[in-house]
């Protein structure tokens, strides 16, 4: 088919140079795909290099502690990806003798691997004819073929997957999928696409009719939730009082400070604030300051206040973990807590 021939021919001379493309290693491709979910390549590349340097094989990743992995992942967000990565590494190492499954139907059964990632690994590493459909592919197909069905509707998902499956190259499905990723990421971009550089412009409906701004169509569902996180950072005798987030919420298994979550910044005479403060301190405060941060997640916007208090005496620290400055470098924290420590220590 002309479409797939154009896509493959373009890839020969225009493919991006990434370290995971230098071999057909399923471990490296899998790691890159998990990192790049919901993440720009420019940001994910440094994390890939850092993780692959620390854990060059799936055996070493499987044998690592979750805290080690979360620390390396710190700042990348969507931490469930890191936890699933670790779970799957241990499963492959312990149950599959360290050998990756080599087909789509087996790969998709693994935790953290969905249809796109399974198709990417099976096609790139094992030459299985499976179309990997992500945002880049939705955008290209919608524009080239003038499809106005919403990409996040049941009908749209089915329509685009069937079309993608009909177009993929029999001869080289892995290169075809990677070429589609590259065209979508570098040329057929969401805004200001470089249509004059696109290998598909001669057959593209959106290019001919100047409708690229209208495609693809997506139903807007997400409502941003605003949350106020009010932290107390207590430093006592060189240690910080912290706790591990174990509840089903953002930042699970990361560490943060004693927290009051509410609809506004607490004042010193607020009952909850005074109760928390009095349960910890004996009013021997020698330094204090307050920092404010905003942190955007996919569906939430966090308004964060961190009140730092350095004290000579504690009334009760039994409910908290005492973390010294060396441990701060080892434990995984949410990005705002990491930023706070960087500012505090500098």
Active site annotation includes 33: yes
Torsions phi, psi for 257 (to 5 deg): -90, 170
Tell me if the bond preceding 13 is cis, omega within 30° of 0: no
How would you classify the pairing of strands 300-311 and 285-296? Answer: antiparallel
3-state helix/strand/coil string of 38-87: CCCHHHHHHHHHHHHHHCCCHHHHHHCCHHHHHHHHCCCCCCHHHHHHHH
Nearest to 122 by CA among 33, 49, 6: 33
CA 233, CA 10: separation in Å to the nearest integer?
54
Three-state DSSP class for residue 325:
helix
Partners of 233 in the β-ladder: 308
User: Which residue, 168, 117, 161, is CA-closest to 8?
Assistant: 168
Cα 260 to Cα 255: distance, rounded to the nearest angstrom: 15
**Cα four-point dihedral sign 142, 147, 152, 157:** negative
Containing H/E element for 242?
strand 239-244
Distance (Å, rounded) from C-alpha 110 to C-alpha 92?
Answer: 9
**Would you state the structure tokens that stand for residue 234, as one six-digit string?**
């207590």
The catalytically annotated residue of 33, 60, 67, 162 is: 33
Q: What share of the chain is helix, strand, coil (3-state, %, to 5)?
A: 45, 15, 35
Q: Is residue 73 helix, strand or coil?
A: helix
Strands (E), the chain: 225-236, 239-244, 255-256, 259-262, 285-296, 300-311, 321-324
Write out the two tokens for 67: 């805290």
d(CA 294, CA 57): 37
Give CA separation, 108 vs 98, 122, 336, in Å.
17, 10, 34
Catalytic residues: 33
């Amino acid at each position: 088919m002309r479409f797939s021939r154009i896509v493959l021919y373009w890839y020969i001379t225009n493919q991006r140079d990434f370290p995971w493309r230098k071999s057909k290693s399923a471990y490296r491709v899998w790691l890159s795909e998990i990192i790049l979910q919901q993440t720009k390549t420019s940001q994910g590349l440094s994390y890939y290099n850092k993780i692959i340097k620390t854990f060059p094989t799936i055996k070493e990743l499987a044998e690592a502690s979750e805290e080690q992995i979360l620390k390396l992942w710190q700042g990348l967000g969507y931490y469930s990806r890191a936890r699933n990565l670790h779970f799957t590494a241990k499963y492959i190492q312990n149950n599959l003798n360290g050998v990756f499954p080599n087909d789509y139907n087996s790969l998709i059964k693994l935790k953290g691997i969905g249809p796109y990632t399974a198709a990417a690994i099976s096609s790139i590493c094992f030459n299985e004819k499976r179309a990997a459909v992500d945002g880049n592919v939705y955008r290209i197909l919608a524009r080239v073929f003038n499809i106005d069905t919403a990409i996040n509707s049941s009908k749209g998902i089915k329509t685009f997957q069937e079309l993608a499956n009909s177009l993929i190259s029999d001869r080289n499905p892995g290169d075809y999928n990677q070429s589609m990723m590259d065209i979508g990421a570098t040329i057929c971009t969401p805004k200001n696409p470089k249509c004059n550089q696109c290998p598909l412009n001669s057959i593209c409906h959106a290019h001919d009719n100047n409708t690229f701004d209208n495609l693809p169509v997506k139903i807007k569902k997400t409502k941003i939730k605003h949350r106020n996180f009010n932290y107390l950072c207590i430093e006592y005798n060189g240690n910080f009082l912290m706790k591990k987030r174990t509840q089903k919420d953002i930042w699970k298994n990361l560490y943060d400070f004693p927290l009051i979550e509410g609809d506004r910044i607490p004042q010193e005479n607020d009952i909850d604030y005074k109760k928390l403060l009095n349960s910890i301190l004996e009013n021997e405060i020698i330094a204090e300051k307050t920092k404010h941060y905003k942190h955007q997640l996919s569906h939430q916007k966090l308004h964060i206040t961190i009140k730092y208090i350095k004290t000579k005496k504690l009334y009760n620290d039994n409910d908290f973990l005492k973390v010294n400055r060396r441990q701060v470098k080892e434990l995984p924290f949410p990005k705002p807590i990491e930023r706070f420590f960087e500012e505090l220590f500098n």
